[in-house]
Amino acid sequence: MHSIPVIAVLDIGKTNKKLFLFDESYRVVHEKSVRLPETADEDGDTCEFIHSLRDFVHASLEEAMALPGVDVRAVNISAYGASFVYIGDDGRPLTPLYNYLKPYPEALRERLYTQYGGKAAFSRQTASPALDSLNSGLQLYRLLAERPALFDQVKYALHLPQYVSCLLTGMPCTDITSLGCHTALWDFEKKDYHDWVHGEQLTRVMAPLREAGEVMNGRSGGNEFLTGPGLHDSSAALIPYLMQFREPFALISTGTWCISLNPFNSTPLTAEELEQDCLCYLSYDARPVKASRLFSGFVHERELARIAAHFNQQPAHYQWVSFVPQLMERMEAGGDFATRDLTRFRSDIQAYHQLIYDLVTAQYHSTSLVLKGAPVSKIFVDGGFGKNDVFMQMLAAQFRGVAVYAATVPQATALGAALALHNAWQQGPLPEKLIELTFYPDPCTEILG
């Protein structure tokens, strides 16, 4: 039987662990998804069960290798960031995989900032808002400060994507996208580890830096394949766009968090931008990507439930609500929907439009932060809000003069990780259309016209 060449991607999320097989045209030919039970660290805080994750990696790859009709040529990894696996000389983890939401000692944080120039300068140089354990570098500093004897046993501190890569290759490495995602480790001005990393002699536990497209020899269950170093998931999701579009664009990646990314904005972060939850990522080719964040997906779900309960509807009722242009005249500006009195709305549809209007108003401000000084001609929206007609119509009305598109990229994060290894595992050209776009004209122009 003829076997088609494929690349496997392990897509490790906080909730779901997935494996995808992509053919040479980057169509998904096989997928698997599981949820793994969590465990607790020594303080009782929930965290990833690293041993279950390791078993999933090997079991799912061996299962994929045994599938008829496919020839797995390469493997790459995309995974959530801000989490270190500390390995010893034998390559085994020395600690739990601590949760990036784990509370952080205030005194320890302040000691680090005070010693290395103050919070404002520290955050600006590392392009990392002060986020405690979500700054993975602070996790490393905590281990050094609180458990020095254990720290002495650490051979390497690996971000999660690189730990999974190391499971397959036995070759510890560091990846620029994982370093450049609010870790507080990387100095974006010097393009090197920040002075505090050198000052605390932490570079000894940082594995050699490898480029995103570099491959190593991997093995699982007696099968051999090329293996990439892995990527931070947010940076991986941007790769299909960077490969398909050359003119300046911004991407609003929507989910629980709505993250605005402008890969054409390399201006240094200001103190004001940091205060408004801006940060910088590093792309797979080490370019700064200015970003801003909103917790809009979470707010949408919470307030949608409030609307549904008040009007005696099921939340699913609002999944496919169409935009009603006439309701724009009734929208109230300048408000937080959580404080709005639902009895003032004539219908649930009006209330829902007001909710989206408030979210889009906040989104306009957030996205505008990453467009300042680096305007774009197109804005792409992927994820849940990209499928929301009310959100997309209102967003197009806000960004007049910019073409707004809903973008559909099947499994963007995993696809990006696969594309990063394109030249390593196949000879063919990139497909011309990796992304499906739906244009949203300004509805206000249409109404007036």
What is the full DSSP assignment across 156-177? EEEEHHHHHHHHHHS---EEHH
23 and 106 belong to one structural domain: yes
For 348, which DSSP code?
Answer: H
Angle at 26 between CA 31 and CA 244, to 5 degrees: 135
For 321, which DSSP code?
Answer: P
Question: Pairing between strand 216-220 and 223-227?
Answer: antiparallel
CA–CA distance, 89 with 369 (Å, rounded to integer): 45
pLDDT at 376: 96
365 occurs within a structural domain: yes
Q: Which backbone phi and psi does 114 adopt, to 5 degrees?
A: -65, -40
pLDDT at 1: 62
397 and 419 belong to one structural domain: yes
240, containing H or E segment: helix 233-244
pLDDT at 7: 98
CA–CA distance, 430 with 432 (Å, rounded to integer): 6
For 124, which DSSP code?
Answer: H
How far CA 243 is from CA of 25, 181, 432, 434, 435, in Å, comes to 14, 20, 10, 9, 10
210, containing H or E segment: strand 209-210
Which residue is associated with the tokens 């991607």? Answer: 9
370 and 221 belong to one structural domain: no
Residue 183 CB-density burial (10 A; 0-12 exposed, 13-18 middle, 19+ buried): buried
10 occurs within a structural domain: yes
217 occurs within a structural domain: yes
157 and 180 belong to one structural domain: yes
The tens place of each residue's pLDDT in the chain, 449 residues long, gives 689 999 999 999 988 999 999 999 999 999 999 999 999 999 999 999 999 999 999 999 999 999 999 999 999 999 998 899 999 999 999 999 999 999 999 999 999 999 999 999 999 999 999 999 999 999 999 999 999 999 999 999 999 999 999 999 999 999 999 999 999 999 999 999 999 999 999 999 999 999 999 999 999 999 999 999 999 998 999 999 999 999 999 999 998 889 999 999 988 899 899 999 899 999 999 999 999 999 999 999 999 999 999 999 999 999 999 999 999 999 999 889 999 999 999 999 999 999 999 999 999 999 999 999 999 999 999 989 999 999 999 999 999 999 999 999 989 999 999 999 999 999 989 998 899 999 999 887 654 44
Q: Which of 192, 208, 229 is the last residue of a domain?
A: 229
Residues 6+ positions from 399 with CB-CB distance below 8 Å = 364, 367, 379
pLDDT at 386: 95
Residue 320 CB-density burial (10 A; 0-12 exposed, 13-18 middle, 19+ buried): exposed
Q: In terms of Cα–Cα distance, which of 148, 20, 43 is closest to 105?
A: 43
Q: Which of 229, 256, 272 is the last residue of a domain?
A: 229
342 occurs within a structural domain: no
Q: Within 13 Å, how many C-alpha atoms sit on residue 93's CB side? A: 22
147 occurs within a structural domain: yes
241, containing H or E segment: helix 233-244
115 and 183 belong to one structural domain: yes
57 and 42 belong to one structural domain: yes
Q: Which of 229, 249, 270 is the last residue of a domain?
A: 229
266 and 208 belong to one structural domain: no
Bridge partner residues of 223 (DSSP): 220
CA–CA distance, 19 with 10 (Å, rounded to integer): 5
Q: In terms of Cα–Cα distance, which of 223, 227, 217 is closest to 74?
A: 227
Residues 6+ positions from 38 with CB-CB distance below 8 Å = 46, 47, 48, 49
Q: Which backbone phi and psi does 228 adopt, to 5 degrees?
A: -85, 170
Radius of gyration of the chain (CA): 23
328 occurs within a structural domain: no
Q: Which domain holds residue 145?
A: 4-229
148 occurs within a structural domain: yes
240 and 225 belong to one structural domain: no
134 occurs within a structural domain: yes
378 and 427 belong to one structural domain: yes
CA–CA distance, 264 with 42 (Å, rounded to integer): 43
Q: Which three-class secondary structure state does DSSP give residue 151? A: helix
pLDDT at 389: 97
29 and 103 belong to one structural domain: yes
CA–CA distance, 172 with 155 (Å, rounded to integer): 10
CA–CA distance, 312 with 101 (Å, rounded to integer): 35
pLDDT at 445: 64
pLDDT at 448: 43
pLDDT at 449: 42
CA–CA distance, 172 with 178 (Å, rounded to integer): 14
CA–CA distance, 58 with 418 (Å, rounded to integer): 18
Q: How many domains would you assign to the chain?
A: 2
292 and 179 belong to one structural domain: no
Question: Pairing between strand 288-294 and 258-262?
Answer: antiparallel
pLDDT at 296: 96
User: Side chain identity at 200, as an amino acid letter?
Assistant: E
What CATH number has the domain bearing residue 433?
A: 3.30.420.40
104 and 238 belong to one structural domain: no
Q: What is the pLDDT of residues 273-315, one digit of tens each?
A: 999 989 999 999 999 999 999 999 999 999 999 999 999 999 9
